[in-house]
């Protein structure tokens, strides 16, 4: 764990959750808060370097938190074997984030949301939920590599769909075999697999993820994502476009640049950048610091630059 990052193992209305915080913690009342909603898998350790880089740029004004998806954590509250305990689908993950905001973000907080991948879809759902009013002020929302539409027919969706349909339990079984290995060997195996360009936090996050129950939760959520994330919510995007910044990858198999181009045609005046730096969809593996620095600049300046 990076120095200065606090880890919280909590229940959010009965759902096992892990939260990483920098600056003021869950037990304090940050006035200005940046909350990161992860992609899938929603293991917060993947975002450690990202959180730290953002905080280094905004520490004088903001606290930074990242909240896991329900059940995507090795929690003392979670039954750790597949077939026991609840498995959380996409809809339940959306409700989980709304509950977290209602229960753990203090009234009057100025909130900046950052969503990665399916976290972007969840942010749009959050904004829609709170349209009738909230004690939280949503300052701005950054949607990184946003999977908000046509997931099943995207290039990656087409490849992954048969696996999610027919091979989920095989992958869970293989994960169980992986967990038999000694911890030191698992660390060496993951380091060899990723190579030297991957942040160490991502190596250990992957070891954390590769547990049968977490993999079961990850795969079930992914299965439901591909089924349910079909049409972009143009109404919500249009209503909140002044507080939305999209950031698409140039060669992203989950949300191709074509999706961005079509979205810009449908929502006039929307800010949707196309990455020119070669960052991958899974930026937390090798570009956490670069993307974190970019977000810190945007937030600190209070403006959006291409």
* Catalytic residue status for 117: yes
Within the chain, what is the greatest distance between any pair of CA atoms?
Answer: 55
Q: 160: closest CA among 206, 87, 116, 218?
A: 218
* 103 among known catalytic residues: no
Catalytic residue among 154, 202, 252, 287: 252
Q: Of the listed 68, 281, 287, 288, which one is catalytic?
A: 281
Q: Using alpha carbons, select from 224, 174, 236, 183 the residue that is nearest to residue 207.
A: 183
Distances from the Cα of 190 to the Cα of 27, 75, 176, angstroms:
35, 22, 16
The CB density around residue 173, as the number of other CB atoms within 10 Å, is 14
Active site residue 281: yes
Which of 117, 120, 202, 288 is labelled catalytic?
Answer: 117
Give the residue ranges of DSSP H helices in 179-287. Answer: 183-194, 200-209, 212-228, 234-239, 257-266
SS3 state of residue 144: strand
DSSP 70: T
Active site amino acids: 117, 252, 281
């Amino acid at each position: 764990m990076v120095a200065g990052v606090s880890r919280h193992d909590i229940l959010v209305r009965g759902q096992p959750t892990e939260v990483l915080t920098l600056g003021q913690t869950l037990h304090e009342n940050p006035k200005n808060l940046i909350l990161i909603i992860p992609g899938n898998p929603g293991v917060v350790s993947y975002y450690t370097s990202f959180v730290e880089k953002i905080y280094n740029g905004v520490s004088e004004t903001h606290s930074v938190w990242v909240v896991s998806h329900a059940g995507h954590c090795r929690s003392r509250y979670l039954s750790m074997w597949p077939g026991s305990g609840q498995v959380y689908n996409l809809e339940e993950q959306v409700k989980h984030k709304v509950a977290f905001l209602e229960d753990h973000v203090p009234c009057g907080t100025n909130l900046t949301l950052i969503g990665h991948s399916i976290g972007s879809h969840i942010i749009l759902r959050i904004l829609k939920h709170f349209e009738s009013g909230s004690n939280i002020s949503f300052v701005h929302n950054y949607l990184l590599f946003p999977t908000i539409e046509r997931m099943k027919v995207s290039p990656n969706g087409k490849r992954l769909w048969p696996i999610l349909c027919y091979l989920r339990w095989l992958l869970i079984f293989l994960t169980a075999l992986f967990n038999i290995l000694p911890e030191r060997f698992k660390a060496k195996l993951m380091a060899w697999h990723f190579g030297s360009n991957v942040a160490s936090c991502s190596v250990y996050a992957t070891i954390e993820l590769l547990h049968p129950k977490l993999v079961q939760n990850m795969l079930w959520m992914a299965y439901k994502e591909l089924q349910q994330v079909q049409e972009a919510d143009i109404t919500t995007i249009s209503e909140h476009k002044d507080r939305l910044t999209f950031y698409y990858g140039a060669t992203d198999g989950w949300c191709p640049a074509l999706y961005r181009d079509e979205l810009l045609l449908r929502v006039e005046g929307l800010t949707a950048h196309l990455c020119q730096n070669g960052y991958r969809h899974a930026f937390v593996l090798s570009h956490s610091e670069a993307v974190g620095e970019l977000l810190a600049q945007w937030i600190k300046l209070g403006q959006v630059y291409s």
